[in-house]
Chain A
Amino acid sequence: GAVVSQHPSRVICKSGTSVKIECRSLDFQATTMFWYRQFPKQSLMLMATSNEGSKATYEQGVEKDKFLINHASLTLSTLTVTSAHPEDSSFYICSACPPGGGAGDETQYFGPGTRLLVL
């Protein structure tokens, strides 16, 4: 079945540094990818929709200058957490839909997630 990968799987960084997380669709092209954040004991929160070749669409309350999204190709979206702070420590998960999915097609595939710890 379709696979979505994320890299790195976990990262520890110092406060003030920037961290880039990659999301790749391994065997299909994804014009749209989604980025979620999950704090401990909470559910996933949609952060933004990543659109290949155009600007990402951010959910209300998500700072676009803080969380930079680049969807440079049909198989790669990156999320950069700029000037990370301890409160950005979270589990970041991406998902992607194969082309042809629509009307709530359930073929949305999730990456394994990236654990970010900011010290």
Chain B
Amino acid sequence: RKEVEQDPGPFNVPEGATVAFNCTYSNSASQSFFWYRQDCRKEPKLLMSVYSSGNEDGRFTAQLNRASQYISLLIRDSKLSDSATYLCVVNPPDNFNKFYFGSGTKLNVKP
């Protein structure tokens, strides 16, 4: 079983729409969670961390559900520039600096 699983999409949404992605992780002892954004042919860049209490950064909201072992990312008022692949990242319990990436969810925001 994969450590992290995501719906690959693509999610095709119009500008201004609200879109949500989920990601499930297999190891219940995983410590930390992140969302990264990756543009085509570029390295991934940190979008936001995911805290147990949930956190918000502008139009982006991340939440963690430990009981069901999933994290989510909500994007409100989608912009064309939000088009990218969103990667769910999990730290395994044995190494706080090791990252396991999900397969990524492709988002296409259309005018």
Contacts and interface: CB of A to CB of B under 8 A. Distances in A.
| Interface class of chain B by DSSP | loop
Contact of A46 (B42, B44, B99): B99
Nearest to A4: B43
12 contacts: A32-B97, A36-B101, A93-B44, A97-B97, A101-B96, A104-B32, A104-B49, A105-B97, A106-B32, A111-B43, A113-B42, A115-B41
A102 B43 contact: no
- 7 tightest A-B contacts by CB? A104-B32, A110-B43, A44-B101, A104-B91, A43-B103, A43-B104, A43-B101
B100 interface: yes
Interface of B: 31-34, 41-46, 49, 87, 91, 95-104
Contacts of B102: 43
Contacts of B98: 34, 46, 49
A112 interface: yes
Contacts of A112: 42-43
Interface in A1-58: 32, 34, 36, 42-46, 49
Nearest to A96: B97
Contacts of B45: 110
Interface of A: 32, 34, 36, 42-46, 49, 91, 93, 95, 97, 101-106, 108, 110-113, 115
A26 B106 CA distance: 31
Contacts of B31: 103-104
B89 to A, nearest CB: 9
A103 B91 CA distance: 9
Contacts of B97: 32, 34, 97, 101-102, 105, 108
B103 A42 contact: yes
